[in-house]
Amino acid sequence: MTEHGRYDAIVAGAGHNGLTTACYLQKAGLKTLVVERNDWIGGAAVSRSLMPGWTYSNCSYVCSLLRREIVRDLDLPRFGLQVIPYEGGASFTRDGANFGYHADPAQLRRELRRHSPRDADAYRRYRQTVLRQCRFIRPFLLRPAADPTSMKPRDLGELAFLLKRIHGLGPRELGETLRFWTISIGDFLDEHFETDLIKAHLAGSGIIGTGLGVYSPGTAYVLLHHYMGDVDGAIGAWGFARGGMGAISNALAAAFEEAGGTIRTGAGVEQFLVRDGAVAGVALGDGAEFRAPIVASNMDVRRTILKHTPREALPDDYRRAVERFRIRGSSAKLNIALDALPRFPAAPEGARFLRGDLHCSESLLELERAYDDWKRGRWSKEPYFDMLIPSQIDPTMAPPGRHMMTVFVQYAPYDLEAGGTRSGTNWTAERRQAMAETVLDKIEVACPDIRRHIVHMEVRSPKELEDEVGLTGGNIFQGELTFDQLLFNRPVPGYARHDTPVKGLYIVGSSTHPGGGVMAAPGANAAREILTRAGRGRAMPDLAA
């Protein structure tokens, strides 16, 4: 028997953005249904137990960008969300050297001076610049992106806000801002620092998730996507969600259900139903159909439009613009269950900075070479990785004495080159394993006994990310964060307000402004837009205030 039903709004996909949109719609009085293809919720903000006793944040793995305005407004801590800051970070080299990125400022300064007194001074300037840029951009995250080509009063208002902020910068600071937005992270770091290891340590945030190298213009801006968050008000700090990233989705889901919303898992949207140019509902993979005049898709724009929306409902130029939307995957993931904490011989026993992000990249050129491999359709021979052991801070992640390790790996192409073809289907189990061995070889630089401690390892190429989570191409940001796909250009010019040519169909995931990272800002922005258009704008709290 097929299931039917009517709702005021349907959200396709129970990722953190979809759930955020759903929360606000439900709280505004719209009877809202969330449908999710997988048997579990969370999308890429998920905790799963693939090995009894261990919890894996098996996609996104750290938390900071989640807008605190939303956390507060939805009262997520009441639903179990707890973010624990982590305690530094470190980079290790093959010849036994290391750089400890201490959380304590005085300790960090000593460590920087140990490598180079000049770099210790430069770090202050660097940090000030990055924080200034964060402060400049943060007010824009929970507002619609100003569209300079629009003459609508609402857009002109946003444009005026933008121009006022720009004017407020003054010419000198504006120049610096223009530079920061367009320079490469490599050049930016070269301007400040002389020590390769320090530069390599700081560069990762500029390339994580992108199809760009450290010397590609625009990567300094990507850095902001990893810095503009905060943990307990400490801007740029990072933390673990207690119980894994799924805690975020679970808290959102709990808030949604408490407000009266319904979540249905196990069948995703097969087709968005369209009648007379307006959305009518969704048809699911299991044959169920639900009706609603408002449908919000948490899937990326490519998947939403090209796979699940009837072709005849879309103008050709819009479809083409969506086809051109870049969404190339570049990262892979290893999730490892360990029977004990591995040794880091280069670090002092019990060093606190080990409870943070660990790296083994030694120079910017090494990172750039890793990117060159990706361009050629191969995984990096010397990959960059961002490695953490959250169970050191959050004991719920592994059985007592055991540990859980998450390794974000870059670069890995979606379209893997093999035998003269480039395709996602080239990611066979053997090749995945070969990639994992490459990564493990490099992890041994930091902890030589890592292989002995592995109880279980999950290897995820961009192909698995696409297959399981639905991220096209395995791109973690649901679309590259390049100039041509940011702000009013995201996801496509003329449709930056989450809307589509199909009336009532909205896109609410990271494909939309302000983009990826577990921010929940796109979901909240989309909710505001949907409610405004439905004449219920007042029901949306003013998060930007």
Partner 1 sequence: MSRAFDAIVIGGGHNGLVAAAGLARAGRAVCVLERRDEIGGMAAEGAFSDGTPKPRMAHLLYNLSPAVLADLDHDRKALFETRALPTVCLDPEGGHVVVAEGRPHFADGAPHPEAGPYHALVSRLARFGAILARLAEAPPPQLAQGMTDLQGLRRLGTLGALGWDFRRIGRDEAREFLRIVLSNAHDVILDEIADGPLAGALAADAVRGAWAGPRSPGTVFSLMYRYARGGGAALPMGGMGAFCAGLAARARVLGAEIRTGAEAAAVLVEGDRVRGVRLADGSEIAAGCVLVAAGPMTAMRLAGPAQFDIEAVRRLRALRAKGTVAKVNLRLRDLPEMPGLTAGQMAGRLVLAPSVARVERAFDPVKYGEMSEDPVIEAVIPSLTDPSAAPKGGHVLSAIVQYVPHAPRGGWTQAGRDRLLATTLAALDRVAPGLSDRVAEAEVLTTADIEALTGAPGGHWHHAEMSLDQLLAVRPVNGLARYRFGPAGYYLCGAGAHPGGDVMGSAGRNAAAVALADGVAA
Name the residues that contact partner 1, by CB under 8 A. Answer: 148-149, 163, 166-167, 169-176, 178-180, 182-183, 187, 190-191, 212, 215-218, 324, 326, 365, 368-369, 372, 375, 482-484, 488-489, 493-494
How many other β-carbons are positioned within 10 Å of the β-carbon of residue 28? Answer: 22
Q: Which two tokens stand for residue 390?
A: 């959250």
Q: Which residues contact 263 (CB under 8 A, 6 or more apart)?
A: 14, 33, 34, 36, 41, 253, 256, 257
Q: In angstroms, give the least distance from the CB of 184 to partner 1.
A: 8
Phi, psi of 112 (to 5 degrees): -60, -40
Counted residue by residue, the chain has a size of 545
Phi, psi of 363 (to 5 degrees): -155, 160
Q: What are the start-end ranges of the H helices in 325-476? A: 364-375, 429-446, 450-453, 462-469
Q: In this complex, which beta carbon is closest to partner 1, that of residue 261 or of residue 413?
A: 413
Return the residue matching tokens 């940001």.
477
- Closer residue to partner 1 (CB): 215 or 290: 215
- Decide whether 215 or 256 has the Cβ nearer to partner 1: 215
DSSP annotation of 522: H
* Closest by CA position to 188, among listed 211, 219, 209, 210: 219
Per DSSP, which regions of 43-149 are E strands? 48-51, 54-56, 83-85, 89-92, 98-100
Q: Closest separation between CB of residue 149 and partner 1, Å? A: 5
CA atoms within 13 A of residue 292's CA, in its CB half-sphere: 27
Nearer to partner 1, 66 or 185 (CB): 185
- The minimum distance between CB 154 and partner 1, in angstroms, equals 16
Give the nearest distance from C-beta 93 to partner 1 in angstroms: 19
Q: How far is the CB of 148 from partner 1 (least distance, A)?
A: 7
DSSP E strands in 288-399: the ranges are 289-291, 294-297, 331-338, 357-359, 384-388
Q: Are strands 234-235 and 239-241 parallel, antiparallel or unpaired?
A: unpaired
Is the CB of 278 or the CB of 418 nearer to partner 1?
Answer: 418
Closest to partner 1 by CB, 136 or 353: 136
**In this structure, which amino acid lies at residue 223?**
L
Q: Which is nearer to partner 1, 182 or 425 (CB)?
A: 182
State the minimum distance, in angstroms, from the CB of residue 177 to partner 1: 10
Q: Which is nearer to partner 1, 30 or 214 (CB)?
A: 214
Closest distance between partner 1 and the C-beta of residue 488, in Å?
7
Please name the residue that has the structure tokens 């009441």.
Answer: 78
> Is beta strand 505-507 parallel, antiparallel or unpaired with respect to 294-297?
parallel
**Is the separation of the CB atoms in 457 and 436 below 8 Å?**
yes
> Residue 117 Cβ, how far from partner 1 at the closest point, in Å?
17
Distance CA 83, CA 248 (A): 9
Q: Are strands 294-297 and 289-291 parallel, antiparallel or unpaired?
A: unpaired
The CB-of-217 to partner 1 minimum distance in angstroms stands at 5
C-alpha 398/C-alpha 401 separation (Å) is: 8
Instruction: Specify the residue, 213 or 244, whose C-beta has the smaller distance to partner 1.
Output: 213
CB of 300 to partner 1, least distance (A): 17
Residue closer to partner 1 (CB basis): 3 or 323: 323
Query: Contact, 122 vs 192, CB < 8 A?
Result: yes
C-alpha R_g of the chain: 23
**How many Å from the N-terminal Cα to the C-terminal Cα in the chain?**
48
Cβ nearer to partner 1, comparing 422 with 536: 422
Residue 153: cis peptide before it, omega within 30 degrees of 0:
no
Residue 169 CB, shortest distance to partner 1, in Å, is: 6
Supply the minimum distance, in Å, between the C-beta of residue 185 and partner 1. 12
Q: Report the residue number, 331 or 335, with the smaller CB distance to partner 1.
A: 331
- Give dist(CA 328, CA 477) in Å, integer: 10
